[in-house]
Amino acid sequence: MASHLIQGRTVVMPVRVRDAEVCAAFYPVRADAARAVLAYSGLDVVEALPGKAVCALLFVDYRDGDLGAYHEFGMAFLVRRPGVTGSQQGLADLRQAGLFVHWLPVDQEFTLEAGRALWGFPKELADIDLRLRSPYKRCVLRKDGRLVLDLLIRPGVPAPGLTAMAPPDVYTHRDGVTRHLPWSVRVRGARARPGGALIRLGNHPIAKELSELGLPRRAMFTATISHAELVFGEAHAI
């Protein structure tokens, strides 16, 4: 069983999260702009519709796990898995797509260092204000004192199908290396709906990047998960 020393603490693989709440919004964005954003990774986006890629914005309350309790925000894209050839386009092909994590701010130092060292996650420190107790789920994200975004998600109807779906392959890129991250998830309390999100962008450079992708606009769909258990294995370079 592999172990790693992070800030004087031993982290044993696989890393387990025993309880987390997840909220996500999936947006159609300009495929050409998304390709420009991800050029550094060597991966290509999947086009859900001609000229449209998919950008996922998610926020997570990690309540109990091996890396402690913390808040996280993620900006990711659905991508073609390495080695997949041919034209992978259309909504039916999204189930074969992987998920490339482009930006992953957190609000705690330990998970920042662990995420970078163990998996190559693009973690940065940020102020992540999660408001999850009301019927609407809200994330107000600030970085370096500047507003990145204010994202509001309205939970939809129960979606038991989400609990049976296999999680997408996850990819990261750091220090010139693109990595594949094996992981698994168990879900309870999943809800989903078309649309269901309201987003306001701030004046941070990431907000400008989202604007160039075509946001704000209507989300394709949103999903919320009241209880998720996750397991993260050793990442490997591809």
What pLDDT is attached to residue 151?
A: 98
Mean pLDDT by 10 residues, the chain (238 residues): 92 98 98 97 94 97 98 97 64 77 98 98 98 95 98 96 82 97 95 98 98 98 97 96
What pLDDT is attached to residue 107?
A: 98
What pLDDT is attached to residue 91?
A: 54
- 178-192 per-position pLDDT tens digit: 999 999 999 999 999
Measured between alpha carbons, how far is 222 from 100 in angstroms, rounded to an integer? 18
What pLDDT is attached to residue 33?
A: 98
For 34, the token pair is 């998304």
Q: Are strands 170-174 and 98-106 parallel, antiparallel or unpaired?
A: parallel
What pLDDT is attached to residue 20?
A: 98
Averaged confidence pLDDT in the chain: 94
What pLDDT is attached to residue 86?
A: 55
Measured between alpha carbons, how far is 136 from 214 in angstroms, rounded to an integer? 24
Please tell me the pTM assigned to this model. Answer: 0.94
